[in-house]
Structure 1
């Protein structure tokens, strides 16, 4: 079952929230819609769910056209599941009743499940690992358990498309990391087709098969997490996913010369053709090496030091620009110290593969 989005446009009065969106989502694929607030990702999800109608364009789920500018099927007439940011659990139903509810009321429940709902409830309770808490009410559950109930309720009727709207944003940092693994495992066990909206690049990189990076209502890039991180095709993607240092200069075949440093040449470690045409070299923070004093290429001064446990984040001011550098904890430099910046040639992109290595 393929989900196809064709030429999708959404306007609210004079404001265009989405501009000609084209995406094809394959059966069983995990797609993350990633972007900052106001980029249009939630609008896109609402259109997929049937909460809004498009101004132009079509949405086709499987063989069925569910949205066009003339006709939009409501959510209950689409074979979809939804997981909300707020969990949206019913306070008067226990865990088991939450899983059972869509099996009784969902229009598209397969016949084999309809004939034995108890068996399907047991299967889902096992998948979300809440069998022993089946009689608990929502008020008796932790945040992670509530999110698992919401996930179980959504997958129970085996929808064609599972939509997730920033489902982890209300959880603390440690629980978010745990729930990432839970969602990945759920995807592996169910092979559901998932569209996952998030502003958190870590979530998208960790879980998705492909990422759709959006900005100002448009798609900037669609690719695998490795390709998005290693070979961004626009300055926005390079800076939004991984916070690259965008260095301007001149490309000459496979070598780059920074504009302010004509004596320095950097090799091509896998920069996309789109950024080469713009005269940009994206340097990830881990691709830079710091050295003491006058040693090393670009001279600068450390203006910020942030200890992060497994690594240290530095800000270095050089040539009127702030450079972000990440080093291991054994490479320590003092705030205010004079340092040299060099490109780590051994840290880049395997040419043609789009994979970061170190």
Structure 2
């Protein structure tokens, strides 16, 4: 089910939470909405769900307008399911009853599904690996199992649009990694369009087909994970996704001259918007460290962190802190002066 958002605005008591949001979600697409706390991503999700009404603009689902400034189609009248950050499980219902609930009450549940409810419940339990926990109450489940119940309840009626509001934020790091794979698997099985809200760039980069990066109620950039990571279009996207190093200087055609001396670097695909601001970006893994060399950018190592397959260094360069990652066999020491050399290719 395609979803189209046009010129969407939302204000709360004079504060504008969303500014002119324009967005199309393709049928079967996994779209992540990424941004820091307070950027408006959850507000956008609530508008898609029908929990709030827009101040201006429209939302259309499958060609039907479901929200504008004057009217809003209620959540239960949209072919949408939602997975909440808090799991939102009912303490008096067991796992099986949670899955049965939307089959009994979801207006858009497929007739073939609802007429064979027991079969569908078993199918969903097997899909989320909870068959042996069918009679358990929420209080008898671990955090990961609770999240699986929440996912199972959402996918049971086979919705066309599945909304997820930071569903993994309450889980520990290792379990989050497992659940990422689980959500990807469910997406492949259900073929539903997914809108996944998160502040975790790793989740967005790992799972999404496209990422919407938001900041202060506005969309900064929309693109594939590769486009967002390697070709950010604004300083905010460069710093928020992947923590890029931003260098200032002057662009002369396709050559960048740093403010520090006569060091020049070639263009490897820097966005025009960043060029206009006389900026050059490099990810930590795009910097090669070397013993101090004449006519190269140099700095002093301030910290060194062991990360298994590599070391992470912070390097002070003329008052600016630069982050670089180096292979485990290329060791440098705190206090050592090193050269920083771009390690780029046409594929970046």
TM-score w.r.t. length of structure 2: 0.97
After superposition, the C-alpha distances for 1:164-211 in whole angstroms (9 at most, x for unaligned) are 000000001111111100000010111110000000000000000000
The answer to whether structure 1 residue 312 and structure 2 residue 289 are counterparts is no
Q: Give 1:108's aligned residue.
A: 108
Deviation at 1:254, TM superposition (A): 2.0
Name structure 1 gaps, 5 residues minimum.
351-355
Alignment partners' CA distance in 2, 1:208 and 1:72: 28
Cα deviations by residue, 1:50-90 (Å, 9 ceiling, x for unpaired): 11110000011112211100001221221110101111111
Would you say the 8 A contact 2:125–2:152 is kept in 1? yes
Matched residue, 2:342: 343
Report how far residue 309 of structure 1 moved.
Answer: 1.9
**1:57-68 paired onto structure 2 within 5 Å:** 57-68=57-68
Provide the rounded CA distance (Å) in 1 between the counterparts of 2:284 and 2:341. Answer: 11
CA gap of 1:299–1:27, structure 2 versus 1, over 3 A, is same
C-alpha distance in 1 between matches for 2:238 and 2:219? 14
Residues 96-245 of structure 1: pairs in structure 2 closer than 5 A:
96-245=96-245
1:68-87 equivalence runs, <5 A: 68-87=68-87
CA distance in 1, matches of 2:321, 2:56: 43
Task: Tell me the alpha carbon deviations over residues 252-296 of structure 1, each in whole angstroms, 9 at most, x when there is no partner.
Answer: 2222111223x2221111212221222111111111111234567
Which stretches of structure 1, 4 residues or longer, exceed 6 Å deviation after superposition?
none
Q: Using the alignment, how far apart are the partners of 2:294 and 2:138 within structure 1?
A: 60
Deviations 1:20-77 (A, max 9, x none): 0000001100000000111100110111111111000001111221110000122122
5+ unaligned residues in a row in structure 2: which ranges? none
Change (3 A) 1:341 1:86: same
Q: How many matched pairs?
A: 348
Distance in 1, matches of 2:251 and 2:179, equals: 43
The answer to whether the 8 A contact 1:230-1:349 is kept is no
- Distance in 2 (alpha carbons) for counterparts of 1:83 and 1:35: 19
